[in-house]
Structure 1
Amino acid sequence: MGLELTEQEEAMIAGEYGNATQKAMQIITTLGEIYGSERLIPVSSVQIAGVSYHNLGEAGLEYLAEMAEDGQTRVLTTLNPAGMDLDEWKKHGIPPDFAENQQRVVEAFSRMGVITTCTCTPYLIGNLPHYGEHIAWAESSAVCFANSVIGARTNREGGPSALAAALTGRTAEYGFHLEENRQAEVKYDVQAQIENTDDFGLLGEVIGKRTRKEIPYITGINDATTDQLKSFCASIATFGGIALFHMEGITPNRTQIPSRTEIVTEEDMTEARAQLDDEDAEIDFISIGCPHASIKEIEKVAELLDGKRVADGKTVWITTAKPTKDLATKMGYYDTIENAGAFLVSDACCAVAPLKGRFTGLMTNSAKACFYARGKNNFKTEIRKLEECIEEAVE
């Protein structure tokens, strides 16, 4: 049985809703045909990745400009981080030519009705689906969080397919939209001490590398905060391409419990940390907020920096969403952080900003940040808990 379209969907693909919607529907239906979908389904929200000009380049910008000529979103649509703080980019050392092009990217999305949140944690600033809701999200960590922690349903969309879903309000019904594809396939019994955000990131590294796109069922975690879970989601998605996991007593999805079991030991965790720690790293860049920092994390950073001063030769970024930065400003955290010589950076992330050549060594509490710092910027890295990162930063 082939892909069946409604009258409205047929009209979209025939061009009756404009050029951008027609192209978007062509993308959606092609994916449906590739994956054997029988129908398209409505989605209630979209998260679009591929926003930083550092990644898009001129070709990507031209594509967005063309789609923005007559394309308009049909559902709540938010945006992934850009390559800079859209307001305070000058103080962060962003080149003017990059800033101009980045603004053009964001403006193109804005013309299409996209809410230019520029964050990888849309669930913290208003794009929060409910359990069982069908959505179309890009950004690997947010996809994993939505599927696993919230219990919404999304595949791991790319930038073009997410934009296509936003312009049509549809996605093809396949993959994680179907219950039979959401069942756990391998059990992981965690027999190691997992306490801090960096520990959860390292655990994601261990399980992600072993699992490689199978759906894990994880036991041995007694409690986890939202911040710890977003760290875990970012890491397991980065190191294993995982878009869905089950964590016993923590996540809401129902699943069969696999018979095949693997153990995560303290030795595994030590080895994972060693793989992200470069012995010869000379730390000149400290970054917190990959994924974007919550208001609670920013409060903690402000507390640790209060009355202190960032050491000469060190740069500190705390990256977050603009609404969270605004709240931090209202609460006085922005002034505390900036007065210490650190930067509270909104809209951007150390993984997508044009930082290559500016620094040599990164310290962070994020396993994902270590991965991208090495691969994209050739930085040496060290992963530490938040308190140790700030201790490294100050005089």
Structure 2
Amino acid sequence: MRFLPFGPHRRSRAAFVALCLLSATGLSACAGRPGPETLGTVALGDYKPARVETLYTVTTRDRAKPGENVFTTTKTREPNYASFGVSIPPNHKPANIEWPKPGRKVNPKTDFAVVSQSVLDRPGLLQAIRAREAAPPVVFVHGYNYNFQESLFRLAQLKTDSNLDGTPVLFSWPSLAALPAYVADKESATYSRDALADLLADMVRARNGEVDVFAHSMGGWLTVEALRQLRLQGKGDVLDRLRVIMAAPDIDEDVFTAQLDVIGRMRIPITILVSPDDRALQVSSILGAGTQRVGALDARNPEVAEAAKRYGVTVIDISSLESVDATNHNRFFDVKQLAATLGTPTSSATLGDAGAFVLDAAAQTVSSPFSLAARVLRQQ
């Protein structure tokens, strides 16, 4: 894919503003960043939460201690497995994660809380996947600057807000969870591609059915690398069972084209949610010497539409959706708004359409004649 770059003065000014906003947002986020103590099991006593989400996790992070579900930033040769029961507080608001206030213990009446957990191994995870045959797995691959507990509770939020009918599985790679660690995070994500490819193959074959993959930001880079690995391993049968959605993927456009040249056309087109005003990806572009990021493509550009059709991918501009923060990088957090808009029927066409489309969130329509049915997020 080749696109027209915007002018150097405009890019420099946009990047400067983006860096300032991203730094301000990141600093405020880090101030309330949850520590590993939030992974401790909370005794419920007489309280019975209305909703508890069962989440499975696979991670290339090492355990802090053997037999415990606290994970570090150290890479491990063999993935670690676990399951968590996370209760959702009655005061939960869509797109939010209700953390305990600094210095306060987790209270399941007001906070997301771990109410049960167990250490698993690979056979145990696959057995759980088989047992939930009616609920196809949905793998969430987080992005840059996440610690383990943030990614776990983000998946719990997405699960509860979307009423997802699948089995949620977190794939967590060893991000350092620090703004200056962009390059280190990219290396850690790349390190984890074999483990993700193996997980996807395991789950497809364990249930002999489709597996959904939802990746965000740098997690998109990791996911596409895993797809490429599966193709090089001759596992086309696995690729044919994958439904891949990427939100704001942090991938250089030329690298993405080279990856797609190896992967080939997927049976179910990869869906890419983009926002040209994504400030975090503007920063990433600067770090990449001004390269265009896939998650910031302009779906209105005829070259983007033509390239999307040629490679068999679906590009959807979601920048009309309300942003949850100043970076415009996390619009997918408000999954109810996203699912309602993407699920709006506009024609008899189906999910198999490739090309570039623009959402009109106010009118809840898609500017091209197709319906990205609620199947995208497993809405029924």
TM-score (normalizing by structure 2): 0.28
Relative to the length of structure 1, the TM-score reads: 0.27
Rg: which structure is higher?
Answer: 1
More helix by share: 1
> Which structure has greater strand proportion?
2
Larger RCO, structures 1/2 (Cα 8 Å, 6+ apart): 1
